[in-house]
Amino acid sequence: VRRNPGEAEFHQAVREVLESLGPVVSKRPEYGEMGIIPRICEPNKQIIFKVNWQDDRGRVHTNRGFRVQFNSALGPYKGGLRFHPSVYLGIIKFLGFEQIFKNALTGMPIGGGKGGSDFDPKGKSDNEIMRFCQSFMTELAGHIGHDIDVPAGDIGVGTREIGYMFGQYKKLTGRYESGVLTGKGLDWGGSRARTEATGYGTVFFAEEMLKLTGESFDGKKVVVSGSGNVALYALEKVNQLGGTVVAMSDSSGYIVDEKGIDLAQMQELKETRRGRIGEYAEANASARFVPQGMIWDVPCEIALPCATQNELNIGGARALIANGCTLVAEGANMPSTPDAIRAFRANDVRFAPGKAANAGGVATSALEMQQNASRDSWSFEHTEERLHDIMVGIHERCWATAEEYGAPGDYVLGANIAGFIRMADTMMALGVI
């Protein structure tokens, strides 16, 4: 805490991982001797830069940009860029730290990193977004590359923003280096199923959890928080598997529709018009909008938090438990607070942490890198099948590791230990560098 002052989210993420590692460190004392834990907690590089950009009226604004290159033992740094006013170093470091373990869990050759800016894309014109992305990339370009560091999207960064950044990178370097960013459009090197991957992957992971008790999504009531990239495609996959999503949210509040939220309407509202969630209720008599309310008050059997960190606190956990929720799988990064997770454990609510359940996004980004490297383009079905296999594999790894370390069903412990062992063994093999 003294070494990283004021970085509350980073402390929270590190504490959660370290709390799980006791059994593995006592079993493998060489990890301690080789200083693996302090080495994992310290980013390899932290780049902070100024981003000046001009709005449509010609006024100049200054934002702060970040790229934290956390660990590259397993491959090039890999992780998204977040544009949101809440971004500061502590958020980027927590996300980068989580990313190391998540990427290790996928079994793919990708290191961990994260970046972003305190720029607020809300209410900005398309031209303002473009100018900001170009300025951001002007500063970042010298630090990334397909063998060095491969950023992607996150909150506030989708295909449009990746496009403007890719265009600027191409202009600055004079190279068509497809593999330098993932989350690209399908016409210019993107992968089919990448847009859907995080949401689909979260639902695939939850499906594996349900299978253990002979259950499925069929007929289940589901609450999905958020209404961005992850939430929309979680909604789609839940629908495909026969479940009903009865509530979704954004930062203005939540909507409830017991008939089930309509995907096409929600896509049009959020992806095309970039509107507010209350507009869904204005257009649907069966839906109601609750401004600034807590979405976890809506009764459900399965909860998928897909918005942002610490959105599901102890109050939310208690409400879910009281209403009979039996499974929580995190589509977002660290959406549940530590006391919420303790409450789930104490009440036998099956709980999947984001670093396992939402790893489908980065895994499919790694598939995009493979396609770029071979100048290939796979079908949607093939890519989705690979994603499904990867999620089944991550679930198995977490489950088996938790059992091996005497905590059957504890996906937090399973994910942290399984990710850590792959990292630690690789760092040992590469020596003290």
Catalytic residue check, 114: yes
Supply the DSSP string of 315-363, one letter for each residue: HHHHHHHHTT--EEE-SSSS-B-HHHHHHHHHTT-EEE-HHHHTTHHHH
Residue 358 interacting with ligand NDP (CB under 6 A): yes
Q: Is 198 near ligand NDP (CB under 6 A)?
A: yes
Contact, 148 vs 76, CB < 8 A?
Answer: yes
Contact 421, 24 (CB under 8 A): yes
5 and 12 in contact (C-beta within 8 Å)?
no
Q: Does 91 bind ligand NDP (CB under 6 A)?
A: no
Count, residues near ligand NDP per rule CB under 6 A: 23
Of 9, 16, 128, 154, which one interacts with ligand NDP (CB under 6 A)? 154
Candidates 54-62, 152-160, 169-177, 235-243 — which segment interacts with ligand NDP by CB under 6 A?
152-160
Q: Running DSSP on this structure, what letter comes out for residue 154?
A: B
Residue in this structure with the two tokens 């104490």, named with its chain if needed: 346
Which listed residue (4, 44, 54, 251) binds ligand NDP by CB under 6 A? 251
In whole angstroms, what is the distance from residue 91 CA to residue 154 CA?
12
Indicate the annotated binding residues. 78, 99, 102, 153, 198, 229, 365
Of the residues 89, 91, 130, 155, which one makes contact with ligand NDP according to CB under 6 A? 155
Q: How many CB atoms lie within 10 A of CB 159?
A: 18
Q: Rounded to the nearest 10 degrees, what angle do helices 194-211 and 360-373 cross at? A: 130
Q: Which stretch binds ligand NDP (CB under 6 A): 29-37, 165-173, 206-214, 247-255?
A: 247-255
Q: Which is nearer to ligand NDP, 199 or 405 (CB)?
A: 199
Task: Determine the Cα–Cα distance for residues 60 and 57; give it in Å rounded to an integer.
Answer: 9
Residue in 205, 139, 235, 253 with CA at minimum distance from that of residue 358: 205
DSSP H stretches of helix in 174-218: 194-211
Catalytic residue among 93, 114, 270, 355: 114
Looking at the Cβ atoms of 333 and 401, the one nearer to ligand NDP is 333
Contact between 229 and ligand NDP by CB under 6 A: the answer reads yes
- What residue numbers does the annotated binding site for substrate cover? 78, 99, 102, 153, 365
Among 129, 124, 177, which Cα is nearest to 151's? 177
Check binding of 161 to ligand NDP (CB under 6 A): no
Among 68, 210, 230, 352, binds ligand NDP (CB under 6 A): 230
Q: Which of 76, 153, 278, 353 binds ligand NDP (CB under 6 A)?
A: 153
Q: How far is the CB of 86 from ligand NDP (least distance, A)?
A: 6
Q: Which residues in this chain contact ligand NDP in the complex, by CB under 6 A?
A: 153-156, 198, 226-231, 250-252, 306-308, 311, 331-333, 358, 361
- List, by residue number, the catalytic residues: 114
